[in-house]
Amino acid sequence: MSGRRTILHVDLDAFFAAVEQRDRPELRGKPVVVGGGGPNDRGVVSAASYEARPFGVRSGMPLRTAAALCPGAVFVPVDGRKYAGVSREVMAILDRYSPLVEQISIDEAFLDVTGTEALLGAGVQVAHRIKRAVRDELSLAVSVGVASNRLVAKIASDLGKPDGLVVVPAGEERSFLAPLPIERLWGVGASTRRALADYGVATIGDLADLPVDILRRRFGRHGPDLAARAQGVGETAVGGEAAAKSVSHEHTFNVDSDDWEMLEQTLLALSEGVAGRLRASGVRCATVAVKIRDSSFVTITRQATLHEPTDSTDEIWRTVVALTRREVRGMKVRLLGVAASGLTEQSQLKLFASEEDRRHRAVEAFDALRKRFGSRVIRRARLLDAQVRAPFERDPRRLPLADPERRRRE
């Protein structure tokens, strides 16, 4: 057992909705739907409070469907910058408990606490400490799963929601998973579930009992992996080995737009978000891509390889603007996205030239100020003049330019 690791999966419960209920006491105890400004807005549910879920409201469903299911729901616009700021506060708490923390989304992360037992106690004790710290300092609830690998820890935290703590002792992974429905297992979507039903598989235990050669014949290389996961065997690496291979942000407009200035401003805000995440992770990107979806839901993606890897907002923005300009003539745009890939550690890059070095130090100083005092302490003049916040926070279509005369002159 000496080779066993202790992995925690920490998941914020109904994160966006919980933040809104925390900050607006009048929403507490009410069904809250985050996404759009009202029940008749176009778009989808970003988060639903636990009071809304018994009505069948779930993330990803159209807002109008949510309104029909839960007529008494309170609809709240997405405030992406606020949620990102709270997420950073949560991750700062997690960093106290392990040097190996891997954030996998805005509201969840893995920790490897194998080496911290002597200082902080066993995994379950660390989990209790984390839950208490997040509640006391941020007035939010988290669910935590504790297990010997990422797969089982993630499933455990899901089962504990809301505000739960589920511990799976080493050696009991297979028996823990066995009675759970097959859809709980990572990598089992609708088509795989239908295929497994041909063999009478309804639970994870049923899958674990199937001979591996049957799964290999039916699913190819994916078969043995399915068998291993059904037996509770999963990846343990947290951090570098499982680091993200790309960084992206996207925004869906409430009203389809062919306003080039607004599209440019949206691309700038998206580029700033992507570049900020690159710098925070200490990496640069070699490839930049833009995603464009039109009013007919046709989606195109264009990408470009840069001359040198970068974490510069301006470099990313200029590239995606050039890619977008060629595609959107005569098009009404419903969604824009910016992605960075081909990530490289900064230590592997050549030394900056002096001018680049000065620019990078200035950007790092701005990032430090934003982290300490909030994302609005320093803002780009172009976004400030246009009163445009990050597009995943608020739709710039609704925010008129501060100087209409300037816009006509341009």
The residues annotated with a catalytic role in the active site are 108
Ramachandran class of 277: left when φ > 0, alpha when ψ lies in -120 to 50, beta otherwise: alpha
- Cα separation values, 93 from 63, 68, 98, 127, 281, Å: 33, 39, 10, 12, 17
Ramachandran class of 14: left when φ > 0, alpha when ψ lies in -120 to 50, beta otherwise: left
Which residues on neighbouring strands pair with residue 41, listed in sequence order?
Answer: none
* Token reading at 361: 């130090």
Give CA 326 to chain center in angstroms: 29
Cis peptide leading into residue 181 (ω within 30°): no
Which residue type is seen at 98? S
CB neighbours of residue 14 within 10 Å: 24
CB contact set of 324 (below 8 Å; sequence gap of 6+): 263, 267, 290, 292, 302, 336
**Of 151, 192, 184, 175, the residue nearest 7 (C-alpha):** 151
Question: In which order are the strands placed within the sheet that holds 7-12?
Answer: 101-105, 108-112, 7-12, 142-147, 165-167
Angle (CA) 351-354-356 rounded to 5° is 75
* Token reading at 166: 């589920």
Please check whether residue 11 is in contact with residue 157, taking contact to mean a CB–CB distance below 8 angstroms. Answer: yes
Please check whether residue 152 is in contact with residue 173, taking contact to mean a CB–CB distance below 8 angstroms. Answer: yes
- Cα separation values, 143 from 12, 114, 127, 152, 251, Å: 6, 19, 9, 14, 28
Ramachandran class of 297: left when φ > 0, alpha when ψ lies in -120 to 50, beta otherwise: left
CB contact set of 62 (below 8 Å; sequence gap of 6+): 42, 43, 44, 45
